[in-house]
Structure 1
Amino acid sequence: MEEHTGKKNYEVDWNEYLPGVAIDCVIFGYHEKVLKTLILEYKETDFFALPGGFVLKDENLDEAASRVLFERTRLQEISLNQFYTFGSLSRFNPEPMRIVMQKNGLEPTKSHFLLQRFMSTGYYALVDFKEAEPIADFLSDSCQWYDIHDLPSLLWDHEQIIQKALESLRENIDHRAVGLNLLDDEFTMRELRNLYETILGKELNRSGFHRKMVNSGRLNRIGKKNTGKAHRSPYLYRFNT
Protein backbone atom coordinates (compact mmCIF):
# COMPACT_ATOMS: atom_id res chain seq x y z
CA MET A 1 0.00 0.00 0.00
CA GLU A 2 1.86 3.05 -1.26
CA GLU A 3 1.49 6.25 0.70
CA HIS A 4 -0.90 8.98 -0.50
CA THR A 5 -0.24 11.89 1.81
CA GLY A 6 -3.13 14.29 2.33
CA LYS A 7 -5.68 12.35 0.34
CA LYS A 8 -8.60 11.92 2.69
CA ASN A 9 -11.04 9.25 1.51
CA TYR A 10 -8.32 7.67 -0.63
CA GLU A 11 -9.06 4.08 -1.66
CA VAL A 12 -7.19 1.60 -3.83
CA ASP A 13 -8.59 -1.05 -6.14
CA TRP A 14 -8.55 -3.98 -3.73
CA ASN A 15 -9.59 -6.34 -6.53
CA GLU A 16 -5.95 -6.24 -7.64
CA TYR A 17 -4.86 -8.07 -4.46
CA LEU A 18 -5.17 -11.67 -3.31
CA PRO A 19 -7.88 -11.94 -0.63
CA GLY A 20 -6.89 -13.32 2.74
CA VAL A 21 -3.12 -13.03 2.14
CA ALA A 22 -1.04 -10.42 3.99
CA ILE A 23 2.58 -9.61 4.73
CA ASP A 24 3.99 -8.15 7.95
CA CYS A 25 7.52 -6.78 7.88
CA VAL A 26 9.70 -6.51 10.98
CA ILE A 27 12.28 -3.97 9.82
CA PHE A 28 15.17 -3.93 12.25
CA GLY A 29 17.59 -1.02 12.39
CA TYR A 30 20.79 -0.80 14.43
CA HIS A 31 22.41 2.36 15.81
CA GLU A 32 24.81 2.97 18.72
CA LYS A 33 24.22 -0.41 20.40
CA VAL A 34 20.43 -0.06 20.16
CA LEU A 35 18.23 -2.35 18.09
CA LYS A 36 15.02 -0.75 16.86
CA THR A 37 12.11 -1.61 14.61
CA LEU A 38 9.78 0.46 12.44
CA ILE A 39 6.23 0.96 13.74
CA LEU A 40 3.26 2.70 12.08
CA GLU A 41 0.85 4.90 14.02
CA TYR A 42 -2.62 5.05 12.48
CA LYS A 43 -4.21 8.47 12.06
CA GLU A 44 -6.15 9.93 15.02
CA THR A 45 -6.44 6.61 16.85
CA ASP A 46 -3.35 5.99 19.03
CA PHE A 47 -3.23 2.58 17.31
CA PHE A 48 0.20 1.16 16.48
CA ALA A 49 1.11 -1.71 14.17
CA LEU A 50 3.88 -3.20 12.07
CA PRO A 51 4.26 -1.96 8.50
CA GLY A 52 2.60 -4.47 6.23
CA GLY A 53 0.85 -4.93 2.96
CA PHE A 54 -0.85 -7.29 0.57
CA VAL A 55 0.08 -9.43 -2.43
CA LEU A 56 -0.90 -8.44 -5.95
CA LYS A 57 -2.50 -11.17 -8.03
CA ASP A 58 0.38 -11.10 -10.51
CA GLU A 59 3.14 -10.87 -7.87
CA ASN A 60 5.36 -13.40 -6.11
CA LEU A 61 5.25 -13.42 -2.30
CA ASP A 62 8.90 -12.41 -1.93
CA GLU A 63 8.42 -9.64 -4.49
CA ALA A 64 5.51 -8.31 -2.45
CA ALA A 65 7.66 -8.26 0.69
CA SER A 66 10.41 -6.34 -1.12
CA ARG A 67 7.83 -3.86 -2.39
CA VAL A 68 6.45 -3.31 1.12
CA LEU A 69 9.99 -2.74 2.43
CA PHE A 70 10.67 -0.20 -0.33
CA GLU A 71 7.40 1.65 0.28
CA ARG A 72 8.22 2.07 3.98
CA THR A 73 11.99 2.79 3.74
CA ARG A 74 12.88 3.61 0.10
CA LEU A 75 15.56 0.90 0.34
CA GLN A 76 16.16 -1.67 -2.39
CA GLU A 77 18.20 -4.87 -2.69
CA ILE A 78 17.87 -5.57 1.05
CA SER A 79 17.88 -9.19 2.21
CA LEU A 80 14.45 -10.22 3.52
CA ASN A 81 14.05 -13.34 5.60
CA GLN A 82 10.73 -15.19 5.71
CA PHE A 83 10.40 -16.59 9.23
CA TYR A 84 6.81 -17.64 10.04
CA THR A 85 3.19 -17.67 8.89
CA PHE A 86 0.58 -16.39 11.32
CA GLY A 87 -2.88 -17.85 10.82
CA SER A 88 -4.52 -18.26 14.20
CA LEU A 89 -8.25 -17.56 14.25
CA SER A 90 -7.65 -15.45 17.37
CA ARG A 91 -5.74 -12.85 15.33
CA PHE A 92 -8.90 -11.97 13.38
CA ASN A 93 -10.39 -8.76 14.78
CA PRO A 94 -11.74 -6.30 12.18
CA GLU A 95 -12.86 -3.63 14.65
CA PRO A 96 -9.54 -1.69 14.94
CA MET A 97 -9.24 -1.42 11.15
CA ARG A 98 -12.88 -0.32 10.91
CA ILE A 99 -12.10 2.51 13.35
CA VAL A 100 -8.95 3.45 11.40
CA MET A 101 -10.89 3.67 8.14
CA GLN A 102 -13.67 5.72 9.70
CA LYS A 103 -11.11 8.15 11.13
CA ASN A 104 -9.86 8.55 7.56
CA GLY A 105 -13.29 9.46 6.26
CA LEU A 106 -14.11 6.01 4.88
CA GLU A 107 -17.31 4.07 5.60
CA PRO A 108 -16.41 0.44 4.91
CA THR A 109 -19.00 -2.26 4.33
CA LYS A 110 -18.84 -5.41 6.42
CA SER A 111 -17.38 -7.27 3.44
CA HIS A 112 -14.64 -4.69 2.74
CA PHE A 113 -11.28 -6.20 1.78
CA LEU A 114 -9.47 -4.75 4.83
CA LEU A 115 -12.03 -6.16 7.29
CA GLN A 116 -11.63 -9.79 6.27
CA ARG A 117 -9.57 -12.49 7.92
CA PHE A 118 -5.92 -12.67 6.73
CA MET A 119 -3.13 -15.20 6.95
CA SER A 120 0.08 -13.19 7.32
CA THR A 121 3.59 -14.23 6.33
CA GLY A 122 6.28 -12.58 8.44
CA TYR A 123 9.52 -11.24 6.99
CA TYR A 124 12.35 -9.51 8.80
CA ALA A 125 15.00 -7.25 7.35
CA LEU A 126 18.13 -5.61 8.74
CA VAL A 127 18.70 -2.07 7.52
CA ASP A 128 21.00 0.88 8.10
CA PHE A 129 19.46 3.76 10.07
CA LYS A 130 21.33 6.30 7.98
CA GLU A 131 20.02 4.96 4.69
CA ALA A 132 16.36 4.34 5.60
CA GLU A 133 13.67 6.97 5.00
CA PRO A 134 10.65 5.95 7.15
CA ILE A 135 7.42 6.66 5.27
CA ALA A 136 3.87 6.25 6.54
CA ASP A 137 1.10 4.73 4.44
CA PHE A 138 -2.12 6.56 3.56
CA LEU A 139 -3.90 5.43 6.73
CA SER A 140 -1.08 6.44 9.08
CA ASP A 141 0.30 9.58 10.66
CA SER A 142 3.84 8.32 11.12
CA CYS A 143 6.31 5.52 10.59
CA GLN A 144 9.03 5.72 13.24
CA TRP A 145 11.84 3.76 14.86
CA TYR A 146 11.15 2.29 18.31
CA ASP A 147 13.55 0.51 20.65
CA ILE A 148 12.55 -3.16 20.69
CA HIS A 149 12.62 -3.00 24.50
CA ASP A 150 10.30 0.03 24.60
CA LEU A 151 7.52 -0.61 22.11
CA PRO A 152 4.04 0.92 22.23
CA SER A 153 1.08 -1.41 22.64
CA LEU A 154 0.53 -3.01 19.22
CA LEU A 155 -2.63 -4.19 17.48
CA TRP A 156 -3.55 -7.81 16.81
CA ASP A 157 -0.62 -10.24 17.26
CA HIS A 158 2.10 -7.84 16.15
CA GLU A 159 4.04 -8.03 19.42
CA GLN A 160 4.20 -11.80 18.93
CA ILE A 161 5.37 -11.30 15.35
CA ILE A 162 8.25 -9.07 16.50
CA GLN A 163 9.31 -11.57 19.17
CA LYS A 164 9.18 -14.40 16.63
CA ALA A 165 11.30 -12.35 14.21
CA LEU A 166 13.84 -11.62 16.94
CA GLU A 167 14.02 -15.31 17.85
CA SER A 168 14.62 -16.21 14.21
CA LEU A 169 17.29 -13.51 13.86
CA ARG A 170 19.09 -14.79 16.95
CA GLU A 171 18.88 -18.42 15.84
CA ASN A 172 20.36 -17.58 12.43
CA ILE A 173 22.89 -14.97 13.51
CA ASP A 174 25.83 -17.27 12.72
CA HIS A 175 24.49 -18.22 9.31
CA ARG A 176 24.00 -14.75 7.86
CA ALA A 177 26.19 -11.67 7.47
CA VAL A 178 23.94 -9.80 9.89
CA GLY A 179 26.11 -6.70 9.88
CA LEU A 180 26.07 -6.32 6.10
CA ASN A 181 23.36 -3.64 6.17
CA LEU A 182 23.95 -2.38 9.72
CA LEU A 183 27.67 -1.57 9.84
CA ASP A 184 29.91 0.50 7.61
CA ASP A 185 31.58 -1.37 4.75
CA GLU A 186 34.72 -1.49 6.89
CA PHE A 187 34.40 -2.17 10.62
CA THR A 188 36.40 -3.29 13.63
CA MET A 189 35.88 -6.58 15.44
CA ARG A 190 34.65 -4.62 18.45
CA GLU A 191 31.95 -2.94 16.36
CA LEU A 192 30.83 -6.33 15.06
CA ARG A 193 30.82 -7.78 18.60
CA ASN A 194 28.74 -4.82 19.84
CA LEU A 195 26.18 -5.60 17.14
CA TYR A 196 26.04 -9.30 18.09
CA GLU A 197 25.69 -8.47 21.77
CA THR A 198 22.85 -6.03 21.06
CA ILE A 199 20.94 -8.57 18.98
CA LEU A 200 21.55 -11.47 21.40
CA GLY A 201 20.95 -9.36 24.49
CA LYS A 202 24.04 -10.60 26.32
CA GLU A 203 27.78 -10.04 26.61
CA LEU A 204 30.15 -12.23 24.59
CA ASN A 205 33.68 -13.34 25.39
CA ARG A 206 35.97 -11.04 23.41
CA SER A 207 38.69 -13.53 22.44
CA GLY A 208 36.22 -16.33 21.79
CA PHE A 209 34.11 -14.12 19.53
CA HIS A 210 37.19 -12.92 17.64
CA ARG A 211 38.37 -16.47 17.06
CA LYS A 212 34.94 -17.68 15.92
CA MET A 213 34.49 -14.85 13.43
CA VAL A 214 37.99 -15.18 11.97
CA ASN A 215 37.52 -18.94 11.57
CA SER A 216 34.06 -18.52 10.01
CA GLY A 217 35.55 -17.51 6.68
CA ARG A 218 33.02 -14.68 6.29
CA LEU A 219 35.43 -11.79 6.95
CA ASN A 220 38.38 -10.28 5.11
CA ARG A 221 40.96 -8.40 7.16
CA ILE A 222 41.97 -5.30 5.21
CA GLY A 223 44.47 -3.44 7.40
CA LYS A 224 44.50 -1.28 10.50
CA LYS A 225 42.20 1.61 11.33
CA ASN A 226 43.91 4.98 11.15
CA THR A 227 43.81 6.32 14.72
CA GLY A 228 47.21 8.04 14.80
CA LYS A 229 48.45 5.42 17.30
CA ALA A 230 49.81 2.55 15.23
CA HIS A 231 50.47 0.17 18.13
CA ARG A 232 46.89 0.55 19.39
CA SER A 233 45.08 0.67 16.05
CA PRO A 234 42.52 -2.13 15.63
CA TYR A 235 42.26 -4.15 12.45
CA LEU A 236 39.47 -3.37 10.01
CA TYR A 237 37.35 -6.09 8.42
CA ARG A 238 34.91 -6.41 5.57
CA PHE A 239 32.32 -9.09 4.82
CA ASN A 240 33.41 -11.23 1.87
CA THR A 241 29.85 -11.76 0.62
Structure 2
Amino acid sequence: MNTTHEVLDFVHDGHKRYLPHLSIDCVIFGYHQHQLKILLIRYHAHTKWSLPGGFIARDETLTQAASRILAEKTQLNDLFLRQFHTFGDSPTRLNELGARQVHNITYSKVGVTIDQNNWLADRTLSIGYYALVDYLDVVVKPEFLVDEYCWRDVNDIPPLLFDHNEIIETALLTLRSQMYQQPIGYNLLPDKFTLPEIHALYETILGRQFDRRNFRKKLLTLGLIRQLAEQKKIGPHRSPFLYEFDSDTYHRSLEEGAVLGF
Protein backbone atom coordinates (compact mmCIF):
# COMPACT_ATOMS: atom_id res chain seq x y z
CA MET A 1 0.00 0.00 0.00
CA ASN A 2 1.73 3.11 -1.24
CA THR A 3 -1.05 5.70 -1.57
CA THR A 4 -3.89 7.13 0.53
CA HIS A 5 -6.41 5.57 -1.87
CA GLU A 6 -4.89 2.09 -1.47
CA VAL A 7 -4.90 2.38 2.32
CA LEU A 8 -8.52 3.54 2.47
CA ASP A 9 -9.57 0.74 0.13
CA PHE A 10 -7.78 -1.76 2.39
CA VAL A 11 -9.45 -0.42 5.55
CA HIS A 12 -12.97 -0.37 4.12
CA ASP A 13 -12.95 -3.33 1.73
CA GLY A 14 -9.91 -5.40 2.63
CA HIS A 15 -12.09 -8.17 4.06
CA LYS A 16 -13.29 -8.90 0.53
CA ARG A 17 -9.74 -9.82 -0.57
CA TYR A 18 -8.15 -11.01 2.66
CA LEU A 19 -9.09 -13.50 5.36
CA PRO A 20 -10.26 -11.66 8.50
CA HIS A 21 -9.02 -12.77 11.91
CA LEU A 22 -5.82 -14.33 10.51
CA SER A 23 -2.46 -12.71 9.77
CA ILE A 24 1.18 -13.62 9.20
CA ASP A 25 4.11 -12.20 11.17
CA CYS A 26 7.60 -12.71 9.79
CA VAL A 27 10.81 -12.99 11.78
CA ILE A 28 13.48 -12.17 9.21
CA PHE A 29 16.92 -13.26 10.39
CA GLY A 30 20.06 -11.79 8.89
CA TYR A 31 23.67 -12.39 9.93
CA HIS A 32 26.32 -9.66 9.82
CA GLN A 33 29.62 -9.05 11.63
CA HIS A 34 29.10 -11.96 14.05
CA GLN A 35 25.65 -10.72 15.01
CA LEU A 36 22.31 -12.40 14.35
CA LYS A 37 19.90 -9.62 13.48
CA ILE A 38 16.14 -9.27 13.00
CA LEU A 39 14.39 -6.81 10.70
CA LEU A 40 11.92 -4.57 12.54
CA ILE A 41 9.56 -1.87 11.33
CA ARG A 42 7.94 1.13 13.00
CA TYR A 43 4.48 1.98 11.79
CA HIS A 44 3.30 5.56 11.42
CA ALA A 45 3.19 7.58 14.66
CA HIS A 46 4.14 4.63 16.90
CA THR A 47 7.01 4.63 19.37
CA LYS A 48 7.21 0.83 19.57
CA TRP A 49 8.58 -1.33 16.79
CA SER A 50 7.03 -4.47 15.37
CA LEU A 51 7.64 -7.37 13.01
CA PRO A 52 6.81 -7.12 9.32
CA GLY A 53 3.58 -8.87 8.51
CA GLY A 54 0.38 -8.88 6.55
CA PHE A 55 -2.87 -10.62 5.77
CA ILE A 56 -3.59 -13.71 3.69
CA ALA A 57 -5.42 -13.27 0.41
CA ARG A 58 -8.46 -15.47 -0.05
CA ASP A 59 -6.90 -17.20 -3.05
CA GLU A 60 -3.46 -17.76 -1.44
CA THR A 61 -2.01 -20.63 0.51
CA LEU A 62 -0.29 -19.73 3.77
CA THR A 63 3.17 -20.22 2.28
CA GLN A 64 2.28 -18.16 -0.78
CA ALA A 65 1.12 -15.34 1.47
CA ALA A 66 4.28 -15.49 3.59
CA SER A 67 6.48 -15.51 0.47
CA ARG A 68 4.62 -12.52 -0.96
CA ILE A 69 4.91 -10.55 2.28
CA LEU A 70 8.63 -11.29 2.53
CA ALA A 71 9.21 -10.30 -1.10
CA GLU A 72 7.38 -7.02 -0.49
CA LYS A 73 9.53 -6.28 2.56
CA THR A 74 12.95 -7.43 1.32
CA GLN A 75 12.73 -7.47 -2.52
CA LEU A 76 13.96 -11.08 -2.36
CA ASN A 77 12.30 -14.21 -3.71
CA ASP A 78 12.77 -17.92 -3.06
CA LEU A 79 13.88 -17.35 0.53
CA PHE A 80 14.38 -20.10 3.08
CA LEU A 81 11.05 -19.94 4.89
CA ARG A 82 9.57 -22.01 7.70
CA GLN A 83 6.27 -21.82 9.57
CA PHE A 84 6.95 -22.31 13.27
CA HIS A 85 3.98 -21.44 15.50
CA THR A 86 0.50 -19.94 15.74
CA PHE A 87 -0.05 -17.14 18.25
CA GLY A 88 -3.37 -16.34 19.86
CA ASP A 89 -3.08 -16.92 23.61
CA SER A 90 -1.54 -13.59 24.56
CA PRO A 91 -3.81 -11.11 26.40
CA THR A 92 -2.88 -8.54 23.73
CA ARG A 93 -4.58 -10.78 21.15
CA LEU A 94 -7.75 -10.83 23.26
CA ASN A 95 -7.86 -7.08 23.85
CA GLU A 96 -9.87 -5.84 20.87
CA LEU A 97 -10.04 -2.29 22.25
CA GLY A 98 -6.26 -2.20 22.50
CA ALA A 99 -5.93 -3.50 18.94
CA ARG A 100 -8.26 -0.78 17.66
CA GLN A 101 -6.21 1.85 19.43
CA VAL A 102 -3.04 0.58 17.75
CA HIS A 103 -4.74 0.60 14.34
CA ASN A 104 -6.16 4.08 14.89
CA ILE A 105 -2.71 5.48 15.56
CA THR A 106 -1.39 3.86 12.39
CA TYR A 107 -4.29 4.90 10.15
CA SER A 108 -4.42 8.43 11.51
CA LYS A 109 -2.12 9.22 8.59
CA VAL A 110 -5.11 8.96 6.25
CA GLY A 111 -7.64 10.38 8.71
CA VAL A 112 -9.63 7.18 9.20
CA THR A 113 -10.92 5.67 12.45
CA ILE A 114 -11.27 1.95 13.04
CA ASP A 115 -14.54 1.38 14.90
CA GLN A 116 -15.78 -1.84 16.47
CA ASN A 117 -17.57 -2.87 13.28
CA ASN A 118 -14.51 -2.67 11.07
CA TRP A 119 -12.92 -5.98 10.02
CA LEU A 120 -9.54 -4.88 11.38
CA ALA A 121 -11.01 -4.48 14.88
CA ASP A 122 -11.71 -8.19 15.34
CA ARG A 123 -9.47 -10.53 17.29
CA THR A 124 -6.67 -11.73 14.99
CA LEU A 125 -4.56 -14.85 15.26
CA SER A 126 -1.03 -14.77 13.87
CA ILE A 127 0.88 -17.49 12.06
CA GLY A 128 4.61 -17.11 12.60
CA TYR A 129 7.14 -17.70 9.84
CA TYR A 130 10.87 -17.25 10.04
CA ALA A 131 13.09 -16.50 7.07
CA LEU A 132 16.85 -16.55 6.59
CA VAL A 133 18.38 -13.90 4.36
CA ASP A 134 21.77 -12.64 3.35
CA TYR A 135 21.85 -9.36 5.26
CA LEU A 136 23.64 -7.57 2.41
CA ASP A 137 21.08 -8.64 -0.21
CA VAL A 138 18.08 -7.10 1.51
CA VAL A 139 16.65 -3.94 -0.03
CA VAL A 140 13.92 -2.49 2.15
CA LYS A 141 11.25 -0.77 0.09
CA PRO A 142 9.59 2.28 1.70
CA GLU A 143 5.93 1.84 2.60
CA PHE A 144 3.24 4.45 3.03
CA LEU A 145 2.31 3.48 6.60
CA VAL A 146 5.82 2.59 7.77
CA ASP A 147 7.98 5.40 9.14
CA GLU A 148 11.18 3.46 9.69
CA TYR A 149 13.00 0.14 9.39
CA CYS A 150 15.96 -1.18 11.34
CA TRP A 151 18.03 -4.31 11.97
CA ARG A 152 18.41 -5.18 15.65
CA ASP A 153 20.65 -7.74 17.28
CA VAL A 154 18.64 -10.63 18.75
CA ASN A 155 20.13 -9.77 22.14
CA ASP A 156 18.97 -6.16 21.90
CA ILE A 157 15.28 -6.32 20.95
CA PRO A 158 13.21 -3.48 22.48
CA PRO A 159 9.62 -3.91 23.74
CA LEU A 160 7.47 -4.43 20.65
CA LEU A 161 3.80 -4.03 19.77
CA PHE A 162 1.33 -6.81 20.58
CA ASP A 163 3.05 -10.14 21.38
CA HIS A 164 5.88 -9.71 18.89
CA ASN A 165 8.57 -10.19 21.55
CA GLU A 166 7.08 -13.62 22.26
CA ILE A 167 7.05 -14.38 18.54
CA ILE A 168 10.75 -13.55 18.25
CA GLU A 169 11.64 -15.64 21.30
CA THR A 170 9.77 -18.63 19.85
CA ALA A 171 11.36 -18.14 16.43
CA LEU A 172 14.85 -18.04 17.96
CA LEU A 173 14.23 -21.21 19.96
CA THR A 174 12.97 -22.90 16.79
CA LEU A 175 15.95 -21.71 14.77
CA ARG A 176 18.37 -23.10 17.33
CA SER A 177 16.56 -26.42 17.55
CA GLN A 178 16.63 -26.77 13.76
CA MET A 179 20.31 -25.94 13.29
CA TYR A 180 20.99 -29.66 12.91
CA GLN A 181 18.07 -30.42 10.58
CA GLN A 182 17.79 -27.37 8.32
CA PRO A 183 20.25 -25.59 5.98
CA ILE A 184 20.68 -22.64 8.33
CA GLY A 185 24.31 -21.85 7.52
CA TYR A 186 23.69 -22.28 3.81
CA ASN A 187 21.20 -19.42 3.87
CA LEU A 188 22.92 -16.96 6.21
CA LEU A 189 26.47 -16.99 4.83
CA PRO A 190 27.65 -15.64 1.48
CA ASP A 191 28.41 -18.13 -1.28
CA LYS A 192 32.10 -18.13 -0.30
CA PHE A 193 33.27 -17.95 3.29
CA THR A 194 36.21 -18.75 5.56
CA LEU A 195 36.24 -21.42 8.25
CA PRO A 196 36.31 -18.80 11.03
CA GLU A 197 33.21 -17.21 9.50
CA ILE A 198 31.09 -20.37 9.54
CA HIS A 199 32.47 -21.27 12.97
CA ALA A 200 31.43 -17.85 14.30
CA LEU A 201 27.96 -18.18 12.73
CA TYR A 202 27.15 -21.40 14.56
CA GLU A 203 28.57 -20.13 17.84
CA THR A 204 26.53 -16.93 17.53
CA ILE A 205 23.22 -18.65 16.82
CA LEU A 206 23.59 -21.46 19.33
CA GLY A 207 25.18 -19.32 22.03
CA ARG A 208 27.92 -21.85 22.78
CA GLN A 209 31.53 -22.44 21.83
CA PHE A 210 32.90 -25.20 19.61
CA ASP A 211 36.48 -26.38 19.38
CA ARG A 212 37.70 -25.02 16.04
CA ARG A 213 39.63 -28.11 15.02
CA ASN A 214 36.75 -30.48 15.75
CA PHE A 215 34.30 -28.15 14.04
CA ARG A 216 36.42 -28.03 10.87
CA LYS A 217 37.03 -31.78 10.94
CA LYS A 218 33.31 -32.51 11.26
CA LEU A 219 32.37 -30.28 8.33
CA LEU A 220 35.06 -31.72 6.08
CA THR A 221 34.43 -35.34 7.11
CA LEU A 222 30.75 -35.04 6.27
CA GLY A 223 31.64 -33.38 2.97
CA LEU A 224 29.38 -30.43 3.72
CA ILE A 225 31.91 -27.85 2.55
CA ARG A 226 34.76 -27.86 0.09
CA GLN A 227 37.88 -25.75 -0.03
CA LEU A 228 38.37 -23.42 -2.96
CA ALA A 229 41.62 -22.33 -4.57
CA GLU A 230 40.75 -18.72 -3.69
CA GLN A 231 41.94 -16.96 -0.57
CA LYS A 232 40.48 -14.01 1.30
CA LYS A 233 42.97 -11.22 1.90
CA ILE A 234 42.36 -9.92 5.39
CA GLY A 235 45.68 -8.23 6.10
CA PRO A 236 49.42 -8.77 6.09
CA HIS A 237 50.20 -12.48 6.34
CA ARG A 238 46.48 -13.31 6.69
CA SER A 239 44.91 -14.90 3.65
CA PRO A 240 42.71 -17.83 4.74
CA PHE A 241 41.26 -20.14 2.13
CA LEU A 242 37.67 -19.67 1.07
CA TYR A 243 35.14 -22.48 1.24
CA GLU A 244 31.69 -23.11 -0.20
CA PHE A 245 28.87 -25.47 0.69
CA ASP A 246 28.53 -28.65 -1.31
CA SER A 247 24.79 -28.16 -1.73
CA ASP A 248 24.01 -31.72 -2.84
CA THR A 249 25.86 -33.30 0.09
CA TYR A 250 24.50 -30.68 2.49
CA HIS A 251 20.86 -31.31 1.63
CA ARG A 252 21.34 -35.09 1.51
CA SER A 253 22.93 -35.02 4.95
CA LEU A 254 20.06 -32.93 6.25
CA GLU A 255 17.58 -35.50 5.04
CA GLU A 256 19.59 -38.26 6.70
CA GLY A 257 19.90 -36.29 9.95
CA ALA A 258 23.69 -36.35 9.86
CA VAL A 259 24.49 -32.65 10.02
CA LEU A 260 26.74 -31.14 12.65
CA GLY A 261 26.31 -33.54 15.52
CA PHE A 262 29.10 -31.98 17.57
The normalised TM-score by structure 1 is: 0.89
Q: Write the letter of the residue equivalent to 2:181.
A: H
- SS at structure 1 position matched to 2:242: strand
Aligned equivalent of 2:226? 220
RMSD of Structure 2 on Structure 1 (CA)? 2.3
Does the 8 Å contact 1:177/1:218 carry over to 2? no
- SS at structure 2 position matched to 1:179: helix
**Displacement after TM superposition at 1:75 (Å):** 0.7
Pairing partner for 1:157 from 163, 167, 170? 163
1:110 equivalent to 2:110? Answer no
Given the superposition, is the C-alpha separation of residues 89 and 193 from structure 1 closer, same or farther in structure 2, using an over 3 Å criterion?
closer
1:119 equivalent to 2:117? Answer no
Q: Write the letter of the residue equivalent to 2:52.
A: P
Does the 8 Å contact 2:103/2:114 carry over to 1? no
1:235 equivalent to 2:233? Answer no
**Displacement after TM superposition at 1:111 (Å):** 2.2
Does the 8 Å contact 1:43/1:104 carry over to 2? no
**Displacement after TM superposition at 1:232 (Å):** 6.8
- SS at structure 2 position matched to 1:209: helix
Partners of 2:143 and 2:63 in 1: how far apart? 20
- SS at structure 1 position matched to 2:133: strand
Q: Deviations over 1:194-229 (max 9, x none)?
A: 111111123221112112222333223333525499
Partners of 1:131 and 1:97 in 2: how far apart? 31
**Gap runs ≥5 in structure 2:** 248-262
Aligned equivalent of 2:21? 20
**Gap runs ≥5 in structure 1:** none
**Displacement after TM superposition at 1:112 (Å):** 1.7
**Displacement after TM superposition at 1:133 (Å):** 1.1
Larger fraction in helix: 2
Partners of 1:65 and 1:228 in 2: how far apart? 39
Does the 8 Å contact 2:38/2:153 carry over to 1? yes
**In terms of mean alpha carbon deviation, does 212-221 or 68-77 score higher?**
212-221
Given the superposition, is the C-alpha separation of residues 47 and 6 from structure 1 closer, same or farther in structure 2, using an over 3 Å criterion?
farther
Query: 1:1-150 to 2 correspondence within 5 Å?
Result: 3-4=1-2, 10-12=8-10, 13-14=13-14, 15-88=16-89, 90-92=91-93, 93=95, 94=99, 95-150=101-156
1:169 equivalent to 2:169? Answer no
Does the 8 Å contact 1:135/1:142 carry over to 2? no
Partners of 2:28 and 2:118 in 1: how far apart? 28
Partners of 1:215 and 1:175 in 2: how far apart? 17
Aligned equivalent of 1:189? 195
Q: Write the letter of the residue equivalent to 1:4.
A: N
Task: State, as a whole percentage, how many aligned pairs show the same letter.
Answer: 41
Given the superposition, is the C-alpha separation of residues 138 and 192 from structure 1 closer, same or farther in structure 2, using an over 3 Å criterion?
same
Partners of 1:98 and 1:23 in 2: how far apart? 20
Does the 8 Å contact 1:45/1:103 carry over to 2? no
**Displacement after TM superposition at 1:132 (Å):** 0.3
Partners of 2:234 and 2:147 in 1: how far apart? 47
Q: Deviations over 1:31-74 (max 9, x none)?
A: 11111111111112213110001110000100100011011110
Partners of 1:106 and 1:7 in 2: how far apart? 12
